């Protein structure tokens, strides 16, 4: 029988040298484009009351881009292929500004695409590669679906990381067909407490209260020497693209920057760091 002490994971304990530049903790600022692809993929005309996604490229992205430039931190943008087709100049400009472009489905698929998935992954991969001038290295499931088939195709396309899983606090090597892989890394994202969606779409929490919550989450992660992956959306509705909502993200970044030993990293950079040190990011898959 396991004792309380034996249940503690050594991977979760603070470890000197775990993060780049000897940082105490790392922060990944990530945005999911979630433009009109979400509505179109569900057969909804993205107009009128359903036009929240169109706000992303028009207002949310420029506002976020200006803010992140002011704060001087790297960030990663997960882009559906359809949205990239609709706003090619926006995606190219983001990439030219040094922003990492990663994949996020084609039509922000809400269910498992089944046998169509490999072609959709390839389609988005081609679109983003052409517009960004470099192949995407990361993928995040648009609506949570993911199978072994998904990972196999991503590996075949040369992806270095997947940011879809919710079952761990730190980067870790994936298990595929019962074998732990060292050519890809999982960079989890917490869609419950480090994502704007549940607050703006489910609980309708005011921005000021969300800021307090995110500060508390960061303080706890910093104390553990961990990994903070904040997921945002530039649209309105459940997103953070409006002035007041972008403003609290800027205040949060300023708050994080006041802490000692914080390193902001793009997802691709963090993935490369982990893949060069696979032994440090193994996990107990029996737990």
Q: In a structure prediction context, what are the per-residue pLDDT tens digits for the chain, which is 287 residues long?
A: 555 555 566 667 778 789 999 999 999 999 999 999 999 999 999 999 999 999 999 999 999 999 999 999 999 999 999 999 999 999 999 999 999 999 999 999 988 889 999 999 999 999 999 999 999 999 999 988 898 899 999 999 999 999 999 999 999 999 888 899 999 999 999 988 999 999 999 999 999 999 999 999 999 999 999 999 999 999 999 999 999 999 999 999 999 999 999 999 999 999 999 999 999 999 887 76
* In-domain check, residue 147: yes
* In-domain check, residue 213: yes
Residue 143's pLDDT is 85
What DSSP state is assigned to residue 72? T
From the CB of residue 169, how many other CB atoms can be counted at a distance below 10 Å? 16
**pTM of the predicted structure, to 2 decimals:** 0.95
Query: Helices marked H in the chain — which ranges?
Result: 4-7, 37-40, 54-55, 61-71, 81-86, 88-96, 117-132, 148-156, 197, 207-224, 243-257, 267-275
Residue 16's pLDDT is 79
> What's the CA angle centered on 140, arms 92 and 242, to 5 degrees?
65
From the CB of residue 23, how many other CB atoms can be counted at a distance below 10 Å? 17
Whole-angstrom distance, CA of residue 40 vs CA of residue 227: 34
Range of the domain at 93: 21-281
Residue 286's pLDDT is 75
Residue 101 phi, psi (nearest 5): -105, 120
What is the chain's length?
287
* In-domain check, residue 8: no
Residue 2's pLDDT is 53
* In-domain check, residue 82: yes
Residue 14's pLDDT is 73
Hey, what are 252's tokens? 């949060």
Domain total of the chain = 1
Give the domain CATH number at 269.
Answer: 3.20.20.370
With residue 83 as reference, give the H or E element that holds it. Answer: helix 81-86
Whole-angstrom distance, CA of residue 114 vs CA of residue 222: 39
Distance of alpha carbon 97 from the chain centroid: 19
Residue 5's pLDDT is 53
Residue 210's pLDDT is 98
Partners of 197 in beta bridges: none
* In-domain check, residue 3: no
């Amino acid at each position: 029988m396991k004792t309380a002490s034996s249940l503690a994971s050594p991977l979760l304990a603070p470890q000197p040298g775990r993060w780049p530049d000897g940082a105490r903790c790392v922060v990944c600022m990530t945005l999911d484009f979630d433009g009109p692809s979400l509505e179109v993929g569900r057969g909804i005309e993205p107009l009128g009351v359903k036009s929240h996604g169109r706000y992303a490229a028009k207002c949310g992205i420029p506002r976020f881009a200006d803010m992140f430039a002011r704060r001087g931190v790297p960030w990663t943008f997960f882009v559906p292929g359809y949205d990239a087709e609709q706003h090619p100049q926006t995606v190219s400009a983001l990439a030219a500004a040094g922003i990492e472009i990663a994949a996020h489905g084609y039509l922000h698929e809400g269910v498992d695409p089944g046998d169509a998935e490999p072609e959709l992954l390839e389609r988005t991969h081609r679109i983003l590669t052409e517009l960004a001038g470099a192949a995407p290295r990361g993928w995040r499931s648009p609506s949570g679906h993911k199978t072994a088939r998904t990972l196999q195709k991503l590996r075949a396309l040369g992806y270095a990381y997947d940011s879809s899983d919710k079952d761990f606090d730190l980067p870790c090597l994936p298990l595929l067909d019962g074998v732990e892989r060292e050519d890809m890394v999982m960079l989890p994202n917490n869609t419950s407490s480090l994502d704007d969606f549940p607050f703006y779409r489910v609980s309708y929490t005011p921005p000021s209260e969300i800021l307090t919550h995110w500060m508390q989450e960061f303080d706890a992660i910093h104390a553990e020497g961990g990994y903070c992956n904040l997921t945002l959306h530039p649209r309105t509705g459940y997103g953070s693209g409006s002035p007041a909502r972008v403003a609290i993200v800027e205040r949060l970044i300023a708050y994080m920057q006041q802490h000692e030993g914080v390193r902001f990293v793009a997802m691709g950079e963090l993935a490369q760091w982990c893949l060069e040190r696979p032994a440090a990011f193994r996990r107990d898959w029996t737990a």
